[in-house]
């Protein structure tokens, strides 16, 4: 399954890119994607904590991802 | 009638635009929160800020806040405008304007909207100091 990843704030600095594509095998939840990402890109652990948004809405760890989902890493927000 | 005005933009925010949007003959008052860029963080001098956003999602989250405010409080209209890009000290990153028949609802809705925005809307602030720059809240 192909996913589009978006990085914002500190996560885009840590990754050195603002977006990339990733392919996962079989069923994958948000929690699984997080483990895969942190294994592949350990620098992400330097961020305090981050949430995930799938297709522009906050997602729970248990959400199952689908082909072509747009998944964003959301580090702690600081607007206002 | 549209009761919410939600915007993220890179040009200067306009208090009068927010005020005009919420103004209505049925209302006894307007509460406006204007966020301004402060010149220090915990005693360290800040010389500018930069805001970036996940714009499509941020707009949706701001719309959610406005709809929730309309449900929770007896208000008439609400405007939530946020800036992105580089802002200097004293400039305005956010404006929230709320009108209501009676003042209490407008004060409460305004506070609710800014508090919730700071928790949920995907917008990030970078602070620039003389010796470097840092993403706010990103490190323990």
The predicted complex's ipTM stands at 0.95
* The three-state (H, E, C) secondary structure of A21-71, written as one string: EEECCCCCEHHHHHHHHHHHCHHHHHCCCCEEEECCEEECCCCECCCCCEE
Q: Cα(A52)–Cα(A36) distance, rounded to whole angstroms?
A: 14
Mean pLDDT of chain B: 96
SS3 of A18, please? coil
- Closest residue of chain A to B136, computed from CA coordinates: A78
| A77:B135 CB<8 A | no
**Residue B115: closest CA among B75, B140, B80, B83:** B80
- Enter the tokens of residue B33: 């929160």
| B122:A53 CB<8 A | yes
* B73: containing domain: 4-134
- Residues of chain A contacting B140 with CB distance shorter than 8 Å: 48
Q: What is the CATH number of the domain that holds B36?
A: 3.90.1170.40
**Residue A69: closest CA among A8, A26, A5, A17:** A5
This model's pTM is above 0.90: yes
- The tens digit of pLDDT for each residue in B26-36 reads 999 999 999 99
Would you say residue B140 lies in a domain? no
Total tally of structural domains belonging to chain B? 1
- The tens digit of pLDDT for each residue in A29-51 reads 999 999 999 999 999 999 879 99
pLDDT in tens, chain B (140 residues): 899 999 999 999 999 999 999 999 999 999 999 999 999 998 999 999 999 999 999 999 999 999 999 999 999 999 999 999 999 999 999 999 999 999 999 999 999 999 999 999 999 999 999 999 999 988 75
Which class would CATH give A2-74? alpha beta
- Enter the tokens of residue A77: 């927000």
How far off is chain A from B128, nearest CA to CA, in Å?
A: 14
- Residues of chain A contacting B49 with CB distance shorter than 8 Å: none
* The three-state (H, E, C) secondary structure of chain B, written as one string: CCCEEEEEECCCCCHHHHHHHHCCCCCCEEEEEEECCCCEECCEEEEEEEEEECHHHHHHHHHHHHHHHHHHCCEEEEEEEEECEEEECCCCCEEEEEEECCHHHHHHHHHHHHHHHHHHCCEEEEEEECCEEEECCCCC
**Which of B57, B85, B95, B117 to substitute to test the interface with A, most A CBs within 10 Å?**
B57
Whole-number percent of chain B with pLDDT over 90? 94
- The bridge status of strand B75-83 relative to strand B4-9 is parallel
């Amino acid at each position: 399954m192909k996913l589009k990843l978006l990085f914002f704030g500190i996560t885009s600095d840590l990754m050195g890119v603002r977006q990339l594509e990733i392919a996962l095998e079989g069923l994958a939840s948000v929690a699984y994607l997080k483990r895969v990402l942190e294994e592949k890109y350990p620098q992400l652990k330097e961020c305090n904590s981050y949430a995930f948004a799938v297709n522009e809405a906050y997602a729970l760890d248990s959400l199952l991802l689908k082909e072509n989902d747009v998944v964003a890493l959301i580090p702690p927000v600081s607007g206002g | 009638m549209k009761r919410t005005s939600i915007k993220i933009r890179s040009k200067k925010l306009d208090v009068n635009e927010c005020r005009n949007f919420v103004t209505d003959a049925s209302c006894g008052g307007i509460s406006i929160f204007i966020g301004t860029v402060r010149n220090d963080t915990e005693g360290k001098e800040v010389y500018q800020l930069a805001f970036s956003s996940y714009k499509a999602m941020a707009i949706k989250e701001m719309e959610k806040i406005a709809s929730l405010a309309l449900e929770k409080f007896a208000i008439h209209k609400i405007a939530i405008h946020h800036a992105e890009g580089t802002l200097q000290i004293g400039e305005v990153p956010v404006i929230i304007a709320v009108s209501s028949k009676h003042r209490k609802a407008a004060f409460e809705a305004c506070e609710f909207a800014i508090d919730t925005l700071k928790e949920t809307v995907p917008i990030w602030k970078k602070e620039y100091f003389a010796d470097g720059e840092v993403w706010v809240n990103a490190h323990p």
